[in-house]
Structure 1
Amino acid sequence: MEIIPAIDLLDGNCVRLNQGDYNRVTHFNNDPVKQALYWQSQGATRLHLVDLDAARSGLPKNDSSILAIAKAVNIPIQLGGGVRTKERVKELIEYGLDKVILGTIAIEKPLMVKELADLYPQKIIVGIDAKNGKVATQGWLNQSDVLATELAKSFRDIDISSIICTDISTDGTLAGPNLQAMRDVAGVSNVPVIASGGVGSIADIIALLPLESIGVTGIIVGRALYDNAFELQEANKVVRNYNLQDPPKENVFNA
């Protein structure tokens, strides 16, 4: 299980939204590069970047920060938020990003996702952001009637890297992850699933660890780290110790 610190960018600052609400913003750092280097120094093996400006408007406003982070760190970076064209995907990969996350177009233009996955094998992540089991798009501003599980199923035969499953109702709340939502998506996916939303304590990390056996291979953590609810090094130690044990298993991952 990989613990992945999140850096959410809004107007060049590191922030967190509460349940995806742009009117409920908490600012944490005005130097995203410094923040990225800090997470790397604390043992991060990957960074999760979100361009919140682009997610809302479709217009990238944080490219200078994204480029600077890519040049400064030597660990892989995955980025999402407002990535809705082939040209943008190409641009981000040329910036040096390891993987690009497609959210809105995964539901609006699934054929484009397949084309991009063919062009960039294992470089594309599908982001499934859901509330009450249904997918939201356009920076979580629009709610669809598509079930998260059905969307996950539709990408079974496409060479994507993974699926990020975000539960909007818990994101930024520190109230604990939606374990059932993660189980549901992992249960129908044949690629790894990365869990996102609600992690507020080490106990939440521990609760997610058994899901690794059904294909949940990463946990994105944002506000809990910024609020010092626990340290990244502490979370990584918990994962290492768990792996040394013979933990209880969920259902076998359907690879």
Structure 2
Amino acid sequence: MTLTIYPAIDLKAGQVVRLAEGDMARATVYGDDPAAQAAAFRAAGARWLHVVDLDGAFAGESRNGAAVEAILKATTAQVQVGGGIRSLAIIEHWLALGVARVVIGTAALDNPQLVRAAARAHPGRIVVAVDAVGGMVATRGWASVSTLTAADVANRFQDAGVAALLFTDVARDGLLKGVNVEATAALAATVAIPVIASGGVAGLDDIHALKAHPNIEGVITGRALYDGRLTLAAALAAA
């Protein structure tokens, strides 16, 4: 089975950053030219990019739109975008600009009908983000923790026609502790929807471990690439 590798470009105030455990106060800046970073990942072989408007996730509306548009112009890779996307109008705005897939997190809990309507209107282009803290789903930039498990949320959309579920173990995100393969595989076993793993990728061992599980479609990696612990070429070859 082949995994899709999604290099991450997280945006905060127009800069490329990585957070530790989703904490905006613990941001490491890796560059101030997101478009150049996108072009570099494409040149290294990336077919997909995972772009997150971190400010937007907290604000509930786009805050780094200019940076996302610059990324779209700078790369031929397919781009999936998340962060503060909470209306059909915003979803359609991004898709019209050339975003391949839109990632919906908070709105998937608050307004599941939005996900269903968007997935009907745009088959294969809607991803649901399931971000877990201690097994419970977190929303609003991970600042609020719900009483629902990842499986609870995933099962809500079993028949909605979404392209994938994006599962993040927040406690590992940006810490290079290794991906939570066990929790990701458990989620993948409960639904027919392909699952993308995220949070804590430290190296090739994580990619090999995820590859062993059916229904895990891909993996997002950020800090390991930026810190040089993992090269995109090696990740793509392993996948």
Give the TM-score taking structure 1 as reference length. 0.91
SS in 2 for 1:169: helix
Which of 183, 203, 206 is matched with 1:204 structurally? 206
| CA distance in 1 between partners of 2:192 and 2:205 (Å) | 27
Q: In structure 1, what is the equivalent of residue 149 of structure 2?
A: 147
Q: In structure 1, what is the equivalent of residue 5 of structure 2?
A: 3
In the alignment, structure 1 residue 182 sits paired with structure 2 residue 184: yes
In the alignment, structure 1 residue 231 sits paired with structure 2 residue 217: no
Cα offsets for 1:81-132 (capped at 9, x unmatched): 1101111101111110000000001111111110111111111000000111
Amino acid at match of 2:228: N
SS in 1 for 2:27: strand
Q: For the pair shown, which has the larger CA radius of gyration, 1 or 2?
A: 1
Q: In structure 1, what is the equivalent of residue 168 of structure 2?
A: 166
Cα offsets for 1:178-203 (capped at 9, x unmatched): 11210121011111100000101112
Q: In structure 2, what is the equivalent of residue 244 of structure 1?
A: none
Q: In structure 2, what is the equivalent of residue 20 of structure 1?
A: 22
Amino acid at match of 1:122: G
Q: In structure 2, what is the equivalent of residue 31 of structure 1?
A: 33
Amino acid at match of 2:190: V
1:21-170 → structure 2 map (5 Å cutoff): 21-170=23-172
- The alpha carbon displacement at 1:160 in A equals 0.7
Larger displacement relative to structure 2 (73-82 or 180-189): 180-189
- The alpha carbon displacement at 1:59 in A equals 2.9
| CA distance in 2 between partners of 1:238 and 1:142 (Å) | 36
Contact 2:61/2:86, CA 8 A, preserved across alignment = no
Unaligned stretches of 5+ residues in structure 1: 240-255
- The alpha carbon displacement at 1:147 in A equals 0.6
Aligned residues: 237
Amino acid at match of 1:136: A
Amino acid at match of 2:196: I
Contact 2:61/2:85, CA 8 A, preserved across alignment = no
Unaligned stretches of 5+ residues in structure 2: none
Once superposed, which parts of structure 1, at least 4 consecutive aligned residues long, lie more than 6 Å away?
none
SS in 2 for 1:172: coil
- The alpha carbon displacement at 1:204 in A equals 1.7
- The alpha carbon displacement at 1:173 in A equals 0.5
| CA distance in 2 between partners of 1:206 and 1:179 (Å) | 10
SS in 1 for 2:205: helix
| CA distance in 2 between partners of 1:235 and 1:143 (Å) | 32
Cα offsets for 1:218-252 (capped at 9, x unmatched): 0100000000001000111122xxxxxxxxxxxxx
Larger displacement relative to structure 2 (31-40 or 58-67): 58-67
| CA distance in 2 between partners of 1:31 and 1:45 (Å) | 20
SS in 2 for 1:224: helix
